[in-house]
Every structure is written in C-alpha cells, then in structure tokens.
Amino acid sequence: MVVSCAIAVQPPARARAREPLYPPLSARLRSDQNLLDDLGNYSTCVTLLHYTDGEALYNTLDGKLWDCSHPMPYIARNSPLATAYTNAPADGLRDRAYYFYDNLVIKNPGTYRIRLTFMGTDYSPEYGPHGIHIVLQQIDSRLIIVDDPGLHYAKPSKCSKDTFYGRILTNTGDPEKAFLNILREAGEVIPGDLEGGSSENQGSNSANNAGSGSGSSSNR
C-alpha cells in the first residue's frame, strides 16, 4: 500500500500580519487503496519556519495547527469538479482525504514558510494499545512575505458564494482553485467567498513558481 501527502493549495505569497491567510493552506492524502476505514490513523500538523535557517517559530503562528483526515467527497467522473486526482491519475494514487487550515494567522511581519507534517499511527505491539504517532512526510510551503498590518491593499468587490463558485469553475486550468471547489462540495466554508480579501492574497498561487515549496520524506 502506498500513502502520501501533498500540499494541494499553497498559502499566499504575500499576506498581512494578524489576518487569516487566504487562500487557506490545504493538503491531500493520496493512496492506491480506499483507506476509508483507516483514515483515523493519519493526521497533519503545521509549524511556522523562518525562511533562511528553517528555525521553528512556535509562538508566531495562530489558528488551527492540527487536523485529522476528512474523507474526500464523492465526485462523479463526468462532474465539472472531477480532476485527474479524483478519476484516474497516472501514478495510480487517488485523493482519499484532505486537510484544511482555514484560519491560520501569522502574528509578526517577516518572511516565512509553513511546514506541513504528515503523521501516521503505528500500532506495533511494543507501542501498546494506543500506538504512537510517527512522521511520514514533511512538506514545506512556498515563501510567505508578511507585511505590517497597517499596510492597506485595494480590495476587490464582494461577491456571493454562488458567483464566486461559478467563476472559479470556469478556470479549469488552476488545480488549486479546483481543489477549493471540491472542499466546498465537502461542506467547508472557504474564507474569502463572502468577504473580499486583499488583492495580493487572492492572486493565483500558480504564479511565482520561484517561491514554490519543497518536500522531504522521512521513512519509518
């Protein structure tokens, strides 16, 4: 059985201190097996890192810092929400669950990355009936430049959820927007649907590839 985790929606390249990050950091759990009965064995947590030396900054990131596995909603193969991840990916690994960090706030200006740690539970006899959490992967996000909260950006017009939803569905070339649409289908409320966020934060995450994050794996 193959199980892996990947960032599906990167945090914004630019944000304001003490305001929720938009787009919200989201991740996908992928496997060649169904995993529905085993999703409780997997979880993720997030840590803020200084961008130069990778030092963990434990008192600078607020919000939900841990998330359990949420089953992916059923997506019909002919649905406009269907993607290669939900239908027939080339590597045989399909989306089985997601992790959603909708209220992360970085308290201080600076330049950072967010590290997503993917964990599994090992129930080997030597670890007792409750098992232990082991690190399966660690994935670092793109760089995030956080400005002073006193800076003001121009805000786009507010739009209803239905309008925003329809507009995103037309942009089939953006996998991050497609993933957010699937989270809506699962019942998640996406920050920014009803409130206009900063234009800096709402830019397409597919741009600025130079700031893309890198991942590293640690084996059991």
Span 104-145, pLDDT tens digits: 999 999 999 999 999 999 988 998 888 999 999 999 999 999
With cut-offs at 50, 70 and 90, classify the pLDDT of residue 205.
Answer: very low
Question: What's the pLDDT band for 173 if we cut at 50, 70, 90?
Answer: low
Task: Compute the distance between CA of residue 95 and CA of residue 177 in angstroms, rounded to an integer.
Answer: 16
- Whether 207 shows a pLDDT value over 50: the answer reads no
pTM of the model: 0.79
Q: What is the pLDDT of residue 195?
A: 56
Name the residue with higher pLDDT: 25 or 219.
25
Asked if 47 contacts 117 with a C-beta cutoff of 8 angstroms, the reply is yes
**pLDDT above 90 coverage of the chain, percent:** 62
Question: Mean pLDDT, to the nearest integer, of 63-74?
Answer: 96
Domains observed in the chain: 3-217 (2.60.40.3960)
Are 39 and 105 in contact by the 8 Å Cβ rule? The answer is: no
Q: What is the mean pLDDT of the chain?
A: 82
* 168 vs 45, more confident: 45
Q: Give percent of the chain with pLDDT exceeding 70.
A: 76
Q: Give the confidence band of 194 by pLDDT, cuts at 50, 70, 90.
A: low
Task: State the pLDDT confidence band at 82, using cuts at 50, 70 and 90.
Answer: confident
Give the CA count within 13 Å in the CB-facing half-sphere of 15.
28
What is the predicted pLDDT for the residue at 211?
Answer: 46
Distances 103 to 55, 62, 146, 168 between C-alpha atoms, Å: 22, 8, 15, 21
